[in-house]
Amino acid sequence: MTTMRFIIKKVNYFLVLLFLFVSSSIFSQSYYTWQQISGNWSVVSDNKELYLRENRGRSFNFDYSPLINHNSLINNQEVAFTSLSHTFAINAPASSTTFFTFFNALDYRQFYAVQFTGNAHSIHTIALIQSTIKDTTLPKQAKGNFIITTLAAKEVSLEYGTTYTLTITVQGKTISAAIDNAQVLSHTLNEELEGGKIGFASKNCIPIIDNLVVYNGKEIVFADDFSKESIKKIVLQGRKLTPQEVEEMKKKKNK
C-alpha cells in the first residue's frame, strides 16, 4: 500500500510538472482559438443553439496556480481591449460556487478577473480580483506561490440558470464591470493594463458562455460565437508500471 501511494504521488507530480511545462509554450502557439487548462470544456449544440460549456463541475486543488485549481480555459491570442462582453449562465451549483472571466493574463498566476461567487441558492457576490506571483525566485512547480487580492466587491442577487450579460470595460487605469448594462463595480489601478490573454474559470458549477466580443476602441480584436469546436485539449496517456519499474522506484525512494 505504501509503494502504491508513492507511485501515485510520483505520477501526479510528473503530470503537474508536464502540464506546467506545456503551459509555458501555450502563450506562443495559435493552432486553436482556445486551450483547455483543466476541466472538460466543449462547444455544445442544444436545440440548434451552440455555446461553450464546462461539463465536469468539480475541480481539483493542486495549488500550483489559481487557473489549475479551477476548471479553466484560455485563449491563444493576446489582446489589449477597452470592452469585453459575453453572456453567461451558471447551472448545477454546489454549496460553494465560483465562476470568473479573467483577462490581461501573462501566465497562469498573473491576471485580473471579474469573479462571481455563490452558495447553493444564488450568486451573492461579484468581485474584481488580481492574481500575482508571491515569490518570483521560486520555480513554477512551487505550490501556493500566488496571491489573490480582492480589488473591489459588491453583493448581488443573481439566479442560477438565468442568462446574464457581463461587460468589462477598461478606460485608462479604471476597470469597470456591468451586468446587463448596469454598472456594479469599478476600480482604478496604479498603472494602465498592457494586455494579455483572456479566458474563463469555474469551480463546483456548470457555466454556459456565449457571444464573446472584445473591442479595442471601435475595432473588434477578438470574438467567438462558439459556433464550432476550437478547443485544444491535452491528452495524457499512461500505462501500467512493470514489476521491474516498481522495484527501481522503490530503490530510488530508499536512497
Lowest mean pLDDT among 5-9, 113-117, 142-146: 5-9
The C-alpha atoms of residue 20 and residue 163 are separated, in whole angstroms, by 34
Q: What is the CA radius of gyration of the chain?
A: 20
Q: What is the mean pLDDT of residues 38-60?
A: 93
Name the average pLDDT for the chain: 87
The C-alpha atoms of residue 89 and residue 86 are separated, in whole angstroms, by 10
Percent of the chain with pLDDT strictly greater than 90: 73
Confidence of residue 222 (pLDDT cuts 50, 70, 90): very high
DSSP conformational letter for 162 = -
| CATH number for the domain harbouring residue 140 | 2.60.120.560
* Domain of 120, in residue numbers: 2-254
pLDDT tens sequence across 188-202:
999 999 999 999 999
The C-alpha atoms of residue 207 and residue 185 are separated, in whole angstroms, by 21
Q: Is the pLDDT of residue 114 over 50?
A: yes
Percent of the chain with pLDDT strictly greater than 70: 82
CB neighbours of 182 closer than 8 A, spacing ≥ 6?
none
Give the residues across from 117 on adjacent strands.
Answer: 98, 125
- Residue 66's pLDDT is what? 95
- Residue 31's pLDDT is what? 58
What's the gap between Cα 101 and its chain centre? Answer: 7
| Total domain count, the chain | 1
Q: Nine-digit cell at 150?
A: 480582492
Residue at 247: amino acid letter: E
Q: What is the pTM of this model?
A: 0.81
Q: Is 200 exposed, middle or buried (0-12, 13-18, 19+ CB in 10 A)?
A: buried
